[in-house]
């Protein structure tokens, strides 16, 4: 006969099963079950007491007596009156025994746990006295079950923490957060004890069930949100250097054969093997240009399959700002970037020590690395850092390795003497330039094959060049860079010049550089030579790289003519002028290798570039530019707008932020250096014509720097430079922002800051008017803005931002970056200096409160009824920022009375920085329900999603997608349209994580009458247009199409639609090639009433559109398709469509491709015929 169902027994067993499942460690669970009584716990505590007495540090275990006796009473009650099973009783005693044993190895942890247990013991009621109540109140059984769940919650929190393999490293940082979570449990225990002492009713039980679940859930979500916000704020403040872009760039240049020898090398594979402790440090050493960086990229990819990879690609371009501390900071933030517990450790550390103290930063790095599991550190380019700093860094990294058994280090550099001394006893060495001859040969063969194909030399000329190039791999002597320079140097030469150049190959890399320098010094006319030497000098001497647009305008400025025209009249081809030793990376002009600067600026080289002369030249150019009329404070806004469109302010950002550093560099040459009159005169003019009449001398108490005492400058110049030094120092640690509050501008002794704000404001207004599709409005300024300020014209407005020279492609990326400068944790005491300024983390805020306001803290709450209506709105913003769920929940009736605009701002705020609990609370249900048919509400949702992603609030973004998608009808077209908008928002934010999240919520349609495939929304013009021609976004979109298996699962008509959408938006050749290879018809259109992809592209006037048209014509696009007139409706005119050749893009194609439309048609036809012949031959 089946046993009678006992709901109480089922409740206890269900709680036990949940505890076991959440614990996720069956071995640990079985260990817990071995302790079935309080006697075993007492035996364990007696043993611990004896051990501690022998060691002379007796801990007061008697403090936990009330807890154990309280549990004894609880166990007796549930065993006698509720027939609890042995396994249930074991869960009461087993965990506490294990927790005490585990924590006894560390004094701090043992004391903390004992104190916590003691606090819970005080709260436990006298359970034996409850027994007599059973006959009168059956609800008490429910309360005892809740007690059991709370006790298990306490055990679970403690066991999960102390079962971490490296918890001892993390205790000081992570325990406070776990202690706060235990506090949530103890608060509930206190409420249950109160219930037992009073009359318990059913509604009490239901309320406590709900409160218990809600409290723990809210704690977890709020804690994750706060920790993420703290981490992001500290990360923004320190701005650690990241190297992902460098890895991406270098990886694209790797020749597959170049790394083959390394992957097969026994020593390297020993290093890669984490179980092999004989090779902990590997040193890839070699001469400059041997391909060490490319090998480091390969190592990064190989190691990623085995563990966490932390890497740096150090470069001479940042050597002036690269320190041992900055490298360690980069490693720290890479370690913590995807690990919540490590982020918690970081946020609990001292921010000031992390920012300024290398020893504290090293200790934190050691702690994080020891807790991160298997980790590979790959340090490339260490020899490009100053000797003192690289030595300090390497010694500390090797010291950290001793505490990390699962860590390996790879260093890639030249065999410098100082590095050799540090590494000789610990590193295994691999000499790169002795092993890469085959890789260089493969590189030369691949390069020349493409070169021959592009240049189409006559067969006999091609053979002669091949023979002359045959010795190149051997002559390179292990240097890829040497081979690259030689090949690049002859790239555009005629055949006889190529042969002449290759008759005698350069003997060394310096010899190759020497030939280029001789060519530069022999340029005619002399003005061209002067321009080339200026370029090389400025690239080498500037403290920060110039963009190509800035370089173009700098060359136009004549320091002797302050009234001259500073507009750029033509483009600059730096590689054509300076040769293959310079390149443009990310829009910035730089040398291809640090050895170029070492050679060109060496004073023993004939015709060398003088660093002092170059610095003086760049400084006078910047100062003269700032003295010209276009920077006058009296200019009207209309004039500034006109100048902005004309490109007059290309150089402004560089000149305004760098002129002082250049003068400072000259001043630091010492008293022996006498500045020329040209510089002193310009400084005098700058001081006079840009003097700030409203200058606030608040900084004058700061001691003036003696760095500017050249010995000959006028007193007014010296005073101006000292004030500027004080202003720069104040700005470096401030929250001064060009667009948020302008009180600080009068701390600048010059009017430059004021002018900068006005220029930025005008540029920002122009950027708001940019066209967001490939079809431009009449008289728009999109072309002028991109021409003068580049494809990434947005900049961070914070003066203290280390990345202020970095450019962003759009406003969303810039704004997302700027939010990380916020200091969200404010002091709650009015009048305190930090009530507005705030702190980067809760720890910093709490430390401040404990130190300065400990005597003043009160627990007063705000009554909304007592507030003036004008005070309610700001208060809601404060409550949402602080994530006060209970206060907001209690005030929802006041929230409903807020203005629509204010509500919308609160929605954006909570999406950007708030917890999911707060988001669920204040986002009204009606918004969710009417989302699919009210456009305004859809717009609010999309803005919220964008804010969440920009604020890195991924939990909120995931909630929004999951919540709102549940309200759509699977078969509705609006589902596709809305999904398209979501994809577009995510692509614009460059969030691969959210692409994956959105994919999990896409639903396969159940209505078979809907023929469009599930991923149809991803090929819409909205989504494709969001890529904006950016390679990383196009790659994301391409990966998305592959996930939908577009080539195989989409019918050709939909693939053709995608091609039309590309043509009508971005004209991306990259996406078009994929679609054509996937089966898109090159002339696709739904009927002859519509125009073809080629016709769409011909309406556009850009280089991308020109290349797109060439691609389509090469694939056989019809240049003269028939388009039937399209009626626009009854009673309306018929739309006539012109010919493709008459469209603006086709008529002006020679501007981009150097050939007319008819010439392009003939070329494409000839190329298709050649392909056809080759196909026949094969």
Question: Are residues 809 and 912 both part of a single domain?
Answer: no
For residues 710 and 675, is the Cβ–Cβ distance under 8 A? yes
Same domain, 951 and 978: no
The pLDDT of residue 1003 is above 50: no
For the ranges 531-540, 940-949, 971-980, 982-991, the lowest mean pLDDT is seen at 971-980
In a domain, 845, yes or no: no
> Same domain for 501 and 563?
no
Residue 581, both tokens: 């030793």
Q: Sort residue 83 into left (φ over 0), alpha (ψ -120 to 50) or beta.
A: left
Please check whether residue 281 is in contact with residue 427, taking contact to mean a CB–CB distance below 8 angstroms. Answer: yes
CA–CA separation, 1177 and 223 (whole Å): 68
Question: How many secondary structure helices (H) and strands (E) does the chain include?
Answer: 59, 11
pLDDT, mean over the chain = 79
Lookup result for tokens 């994750």: 224
Q: What 3 state SS string does 734-752 have?
A: CCCECCCCCHHHHHCCECH
| For helices 509-521 and 480-489, angle between their N-to-C axes, nearest 10 degrees | 30
Per-residue confidence band for 971, with pLDDT thresholds at 50, 70 and 90: very low
Q: Same domain, yes or no, for 1063 and 1112? A: no
Long-range Cβ pairs for the range 717-724 (8 Å, 24+): 717/680, 717/683, 717/684, 717/687, 720/683, 720/686, 720/687, 720/691, 720/749, 720/750, 721/660, 721/663, 721/683, 723/695, 723/699, 723/749, 724/660, 724/748, 724/749, 724/750
Domain count, the chain: 7
Long-range Cβ contact pairs of 792-798 (< 8 A, separation 24 or more):
792/587, 793/763, 793/767, 794/767, 795/653, 795/760, 796/821, 797/737, 797/738, 797/739, 797/740, 797/760, 798/735, 798/736, 798/737
In the numeric block, which tokens belong to residue 778?
């009449």
Q: Residue 230: inside a domain, yes or no?
A: no
Tokens of 954: 């991924």
Give the phi and the psi of residue 21 in degrees, each rounded to 5.
Answer: -65, -45
Distances from the Cα of 94 to the Cα of 80, 265, 493, angstroms: 20, 52, 83
In the predicted model, what is the mean pLDDT of residues 183-187? 73
Q: Look up tokens 């249950």; give the residue.
A: 192
Q: Between helices 652-667 and 752-768, what is the axis angle to 10°?
A: 150
| Residue in 1071, 1051, 1050, 1049 with CA at minimum distance from that of residue 1060 | 1071
Do residues 957 and 981 share a domain? Answer: no
Structure tokens at 744: 């600080």
Residue 406 lies in a domain: yes
Q: Are residues 1067 and 1161 in the same domain?
A: no
Average pLDDT in the 387-396 region?
A: 88
Quick one: which of 292, 288, 291 has its CA closest to 512? 288
CA distances from 242 to 239, 248, 313, 364 (A): 9, 12, 9, 18
Chain position carrying tokens 């898109």:
1080
Q: Within 10 Å of residue 493's Cβ, how many Cβ atoms? A: 13
The neighbouring-strand residues paired with 413 are 285
1051 and 1141 part of one domain: no
Q: For 901-930, what is the mean pLDDT?
A: 73
- Which helix (H) or strand (E) segment is 588 a member of? strand 588-591
The mean pLDDT value for 607-626 works out to 94
Report the C-alpha gap between 270 and 264 in whole angstroms. Answer: 11
Average the pLDDT over each of 69-78, 192-201, 394-403, 859-868 and give the range with the smallest value. Answer: 859-868
Q: What is the pLDDT of residue 695?
A: 87
Q: Are residues 989 and 888 located together in one domain of the fold?
A: no
CA distance 30 to 789: 67
Residue 713 phi, psi (nearest 5): -75, 150
Please enumerate in sequence order all residues whose Cβ is within 8 A of that of 454, keeping only pairs 6 or more positions apart, or say none. Answer: none
If we measure between CA atoms, which residue out of 385, 367, 402, 371 comes closest to residue 326?
385
Judged against a pLDDT cut of 90, whether residue 621 lies above it is answered with yes
Would the pLDDT of 1006 be above 50? Answer: no
b/e burial code for range 219-240 (CB count within 10 A of at least 16 → b): bebbbbbbbbbbbbbbbbbbbb
- List CB contacts of 914: < 8 A, sequence separation 6 or more: 225, 880, 883, 953, 956
pLDDT attached to residue 377: 95
Q: Using an 8 Å Cβ cutoff, are 256 and 445 in contact?
A: no
Residue 164's pLDDT band (cuts 50, 70, 90): low
| End position of a domain, from candidates 967, 991, 1007 | 967
* CA–CA dist 534, 834 (Å, integer): 48
User: Could you say which of 1081, 1112, 1132 is where a domain stops?
Assistant: 1081
Cβ contact 1165:1149 at 8 Å? no
28, 159: one domain? yes
Q: Answer yes or no: are the C-beta atoms of 579 and 652 closer than 8 Å.
A: no
| Cβ-proximal residues to 506 (8 Å cutoff; 6+ apart), any chain | 475, 482, 486, 512, 514, 515
Both 500 and 410 in one domain: the answer is no
Most confident of the ranges 73-87, 250-264, 680-694, 867-881: 680-694
- Mean pLDDT of the 6-26 span: 77
**Backbone angles phi and psi of 427, in degrees to 5:** -100, 145
Sort 700 into a burial class: Cβ within 10 Å, 0-12 / 13-18 / 19+.
Answer: middle
Share of the chain above pLDDT 90, in %: 21
What is the percentage of the chain residues whose pLDDT exceeds 70? 78
CATH number at residue 317: 3.40.50.300
Is the pLDDT at 1007 greater than 50, yes or no? no
Domain annotation covers residue 217: no
Residue 870 region, left (φ>0) first, then alpha (ψ -120 to 50), else beta?
alpha
Number of other CB atoms surrounding residue 433 within 10 Å: 20
Distance CA 1130, CA 1126 (A): 12
The number of beta carbons lying within 10 Å of the beta carbon of residue 1008 is 7
Band of the pLDDT at 870, cuts 50, 70, 90? Answer: low
Residue 495 lies in a domain: yes
pLDDT of residue 1005 exceeding 50, the answer is no
Dihedral of alpha carbons 530, 536, 541, 545, sign: positive
- C-beta separation of 281 from 426 below 8 A: yes
Please state the φ and ψ torsions of residue 47, each to the nearest 5 degrees: -65, -45
1099 in Cβ contact with 1143 (< 8 Å) = yes
Residue for token pair 């309080």: 38
Highest mean pLDDT among 269-273, 570-574, 824-828: 269-273
- Is there a single domain that holds both residue 932 and residue 973? no
Give the mean pLDDT of 214-238.
72
Do 342 and 368 form a contact (C-beta atoms < 8 A)?
Answer: yes
Question: Using one digit for the tens of pLDDT, what is the confidence trace for 1054-1084?
Answer: 999 999 999 999 999 989 999 998 899 999 9
Closest CA to 1105 of 1147, 1139, 1164: 1147
Q: Domain end: 412, 434, 456, which one?
A: 434
Is 1053 in the same domain as 974? yes
3-state DSSP assignment of residue 829: coil
Indicate the range of 335-339, 495-499, 816-820, 1169-1173 predicted with least confidence.
816-820
By the 10 Å C-beta count (0-12 exposed, 13-18 middle, 19+ buried), 1087 is classed as exposed
Does the structure show a pLDDT above 70 at 887? yes
Q: Is 7 helix (H, G, I), strand (E, B) or coil?
A: helix
User: Is it the case that residue 77 has pLDDT exceeding 60?
Assistant: yes
Q: Higher model confidence: residue 70 or residue 1112?
A: 1112
Task: Give domain status of residue 840, yes or no.
Answer: no
pLDDT at 777 > cutoff 80: no
59 found inside a domain: yes
Asked if pLDDT for residue 520 goes beyond 60, the answer is: yes
Distance CA 1019, CA 1037 (A): 9
917 pLDDT above the threshold of 70: yes
pLDDT classification of 612: cutoffs 50, 70, 90: very high
Q: Which of 1143, 1156, 1114, 1154 is nearest to 775 (CA)?
A: 1143
Domain ranges, residue 1126: 1098-1178
**Integer Cα distance of 849 and 174 in angstroms:** 20
More confident call, 754 vs 214: 754
Could you read off the pLDDT of 1036-1059 as tens digits, one per residue? 888 788 878 888 888 889 999 999
Cis peptide before 396 (omega within 30 of 0): no
Residue 668 belongs to a domain: yes
């Amino acid at each position: 006969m089946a046993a009678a169902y006992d709901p109480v027994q089922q409740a206890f067993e269900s709680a036990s099963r949940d505890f076991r499942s959440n614990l996720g460690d069956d071995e640990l669970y079985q260990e817990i079950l071995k302790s079935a009584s309080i006697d075993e716990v007492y035996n364990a505590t007696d043993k611990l007491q004896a051990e501690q007495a022998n060691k002379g540090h007796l801990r007061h275990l008697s403090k936990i007596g009330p807890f154990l006796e309280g549990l004894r009473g609880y166990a007796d009650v549930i065993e006698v009156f509720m027939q609890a099973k042995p396994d249930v009783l074991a869960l009461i005693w087993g965990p506490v025994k294990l927790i005490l044993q585990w924590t006894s190895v560390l004094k701090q942890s043992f004391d903390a746990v004992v104190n916590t247990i003691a606090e819970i013991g005080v709260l436990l009621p006298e359970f034996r006295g409850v027994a007599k109540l059973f006959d009168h109140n059956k609800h008490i059984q429910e309360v005892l079950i809740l007690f059991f769940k709370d006790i298990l919650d306490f055990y679970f929190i403690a066991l999960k923490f102390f079962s971490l393999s490296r918890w001892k490293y993390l205790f000081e940082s992570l325990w406070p957060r776990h202690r706060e979570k235990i506090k949530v449990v103890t608060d509930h225990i206190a409420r249950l004890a109160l219930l037992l002492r009073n009359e318990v009713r059913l509604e009490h039980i239901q309320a406590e069930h709900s409160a218990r679940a809600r409290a723990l859930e809210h704690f977890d979500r709020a804690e994750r949100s706060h920790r993420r916000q703290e981490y992001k704020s500290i990360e923004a403040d320190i701005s650690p250097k990241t190297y992902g872009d460098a890895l991406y760039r270098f990886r694209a240049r790797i020749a597959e054969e170049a790394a083959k020898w390394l992957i097969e090398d026994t020593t390297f594979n020993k290093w890669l093997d984490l179980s092999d402790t004989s090779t902990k440090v590997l040193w890839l050493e070699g001469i400059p240009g041997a391909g060490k960086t490319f090998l480091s990229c390969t190592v990064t990819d190989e190691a990623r399959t085995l563990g966490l990879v932390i890497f740096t690609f150090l470069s001479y371009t940042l050597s002036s700002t690269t320190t041992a501390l900055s490298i360690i900071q980069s490693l720290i933030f890479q370690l913590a970037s995807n690990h919540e517990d490590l982020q918690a450790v970081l946020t609990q550390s001292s921010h000031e020590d992390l920012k300024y103290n290398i020893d504290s930063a090293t200790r934190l790095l050691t702690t994080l690395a020891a807790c991160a599991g298997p980790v590979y550190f790959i340090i490339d380019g260490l020899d490009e850092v100053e000797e003192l700093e690289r030595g300090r860094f390497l010694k500390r990294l090797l010291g950290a390795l001793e505490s990390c058994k699962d860590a390996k280090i790879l260093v890639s550099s030249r065999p410098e003497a100082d590095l050799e001394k540090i590494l000789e006893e610990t590193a295994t060495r691999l000499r790169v330039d002795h092993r890469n001859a085959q890789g260089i040969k493969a590189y030369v063969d691949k390069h020349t094959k493409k070169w021959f194909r592009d240049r189409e030399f006559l067969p006999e000329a091609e053979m002669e060049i091949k023979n002359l190039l045959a010795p190149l791999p051997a002559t390179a002597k292990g240097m890829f860079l040497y081979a690259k320079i030689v090949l690049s140097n002859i790239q555009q030469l005629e055949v006889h010049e190529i042969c002449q150049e290759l008759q005698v190959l350069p003997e060394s890399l310096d010899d190759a550089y020497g030939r280029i320098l001789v060519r530069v010094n022999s340029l005619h006319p002399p003005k061209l030579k002067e321009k080339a030497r200026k370029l090389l000098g400025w690239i080498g001497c500037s403290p920060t790289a110039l963009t190509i647009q800035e370089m173009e305008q700098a060359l136009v400025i004549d320091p002797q003519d302050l009234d001259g025209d500073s507009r750029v009249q033509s483009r600059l081809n730096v590689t054509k002028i300076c040769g293959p030793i310079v390149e443009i990376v990310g829009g910035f002009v730089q040398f291809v290798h640090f050895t170029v600067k070492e050679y060109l600026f060496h004073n023993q080289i004939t015709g060398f570039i003088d660093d002092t002369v170059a610095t003086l030249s760049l400084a006078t150019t910047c100062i003269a530019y700032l003295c010209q009329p276009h920077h006058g404070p009296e200019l009207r806004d209309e004039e500034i707008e006109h100048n902005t469109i004309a490109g007059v302010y290309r150089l402004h950002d560089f000149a305004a932020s760098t002129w002082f550093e250049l003068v400072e560099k000259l001043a630091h040459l010492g008293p022996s250096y006498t500045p020329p009159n040209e510089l002193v005169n310009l400084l005098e003019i700058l001081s006079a014509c840009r003097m700030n009449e409203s200058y606030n001398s608040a900084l004058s108490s700061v001691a003036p720097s003696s760095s500017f005492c050249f010995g000959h400058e006028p007193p007014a110049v010296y005073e101006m430079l000292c004030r500027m030094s004080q202003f720069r120092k104040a700005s470096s640690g401030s929250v001064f922002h060009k667009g948020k509050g302008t009180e600080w501008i009068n701390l600048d002794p010059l009017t430059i800051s004021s002018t900068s704000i006005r220029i930025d404001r005008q540029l920002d207004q122009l950027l708001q008017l940019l066209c967001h599709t490939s079809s431009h409005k009449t008289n728009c300024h999109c072309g002028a803005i991109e021409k003068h300020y580049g494809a990434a014209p947005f900049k961070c407005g914070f003066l203290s931002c280390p990345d202020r020279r970095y450019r962003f492609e759009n406003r969303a990326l810039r704004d997302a970056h700027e939010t990380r400068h916020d200091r969200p944790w404010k002091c709650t005491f009015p009048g305190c200096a930090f009530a507005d300024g705030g702190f980067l983390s809760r720890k910093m805020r709490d430390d401040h409160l404990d130190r300065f306001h400990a005597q003043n803290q009160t627990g007063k709450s705000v009554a909304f009824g007592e507030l003036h209506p004008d005070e309610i709105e700001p208060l809601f913003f404060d409550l949402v920022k602080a994530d006060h769920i209970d206060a907001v929940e209690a005030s929802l009736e006041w929230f409903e009375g807020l203005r629509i605009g204010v509500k919308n701002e609160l929605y954006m705020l909570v999406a950007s920085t708030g917890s999911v609990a707060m988001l669920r609370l204040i986002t009204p249900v009606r918004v969710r329900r009417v989302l699919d048919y009210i456009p305004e509400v859809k717009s609010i949702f999309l803005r919220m999603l964008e804010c969440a992603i920009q604020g890195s609030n991924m939990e909120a973004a995931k909630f929004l997608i999951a919540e709102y998608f549940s309200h759509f009808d699977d078969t509705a077209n609006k589902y596709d349209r809305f999904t398209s908008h979501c994809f577009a928002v995510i692509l614009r934010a460059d969030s691969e994580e959210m692409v994956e999240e959105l994919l999990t919520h896409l639903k396969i349609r159940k209505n078979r009458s809907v023929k469009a495939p599930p991923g149809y929304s991803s090929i819409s013009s909205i989504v494709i247009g969001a890529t904006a021609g950016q390679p990383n976004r196009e790659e994301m979109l391409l990966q998305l199409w592959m996930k939908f298996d577009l080539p195989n699962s989409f019918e050709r008509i939909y693939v053709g639609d995608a091609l039309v959408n590309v043509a009508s938006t971005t004209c991306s050749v990259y996406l078009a090639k994929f679609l054509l290879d996937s089966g898109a018809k090159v002339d696709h259109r739904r009927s002859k009433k519509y125009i073809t992809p080629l016709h769409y592209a011909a309406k556009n006037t850009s280089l991308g559109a020109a290349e797109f048209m060439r691609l389509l014509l090469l694939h056989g696009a019809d240049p003269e398709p028939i388009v039937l007139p399209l009626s626009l409706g009854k009673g309306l005119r018929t739309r006539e469509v012109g010919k493709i050749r008459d469209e603006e893009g086709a008529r002006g194609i020679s501007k981009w491709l150097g050939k007319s439309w008819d010439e392009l048609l003939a070329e494409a036809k000839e190329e298709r015929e050649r392909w056809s012949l080759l196909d026949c031959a094969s």
